[in-house]
Amino acid sequence: MEWIEGRKCDYDNISDVVNASYNLAKIHLVTRNFKSISGSKIIYGDNNLYESYEKHFLQLLNASNKAFYYKDDFSKLFLDSSDYYIESAKDSLYILSQIDFNSKN
């Protein structure tokens, strides 16, 4: 983004990965006891579980397509296991499609 000074993280550079991991850990630590502003709406998740899983499945497919494009070491590692996770996601979507969430049972 042009409004943020910096550069894209290079996942082939161990120093970049360590710095990114460190900063992510700091974010988790400082938000541990986060309290929302009074009156704000807290979103806990999607109401429709199938739609939520489908959205994440599409994000996984998109990430896989981008990995084919970038072809860096991280992308190659991602692609090595992506078939398993894509198939697992398909299975999950199929199972969710068979559940009647409106049923009292």
CB 74 within 8 Å of CB 11? yes
Report pLDDT for 79: 93
- pTM value? 0.58
What is the structure's pLDDT at 54? 93
Cβ contacts of 50 within 8 Å, gap of 6 or more:
93, 96, 97
Q: pLDDT (tens digit, 9 = 90+) per residue, 53-99?
A: 999 999 999 999 999 998 888 899 999 999 999 999 999 999 999 98
Q: What's residue 43's pLDDT?
A: 63
Q: What pLDDT, in 10s, does the model give residues 6-47?
A: 888 888 899 999 999 999 999 999 988 888 788 877 666 556
Q: What is the dihedral of CA 59, 61, 63, 65, to 10 degrees?
A: -150
Tell me the C-alpha distance between 18 and 13, whole Å: 9
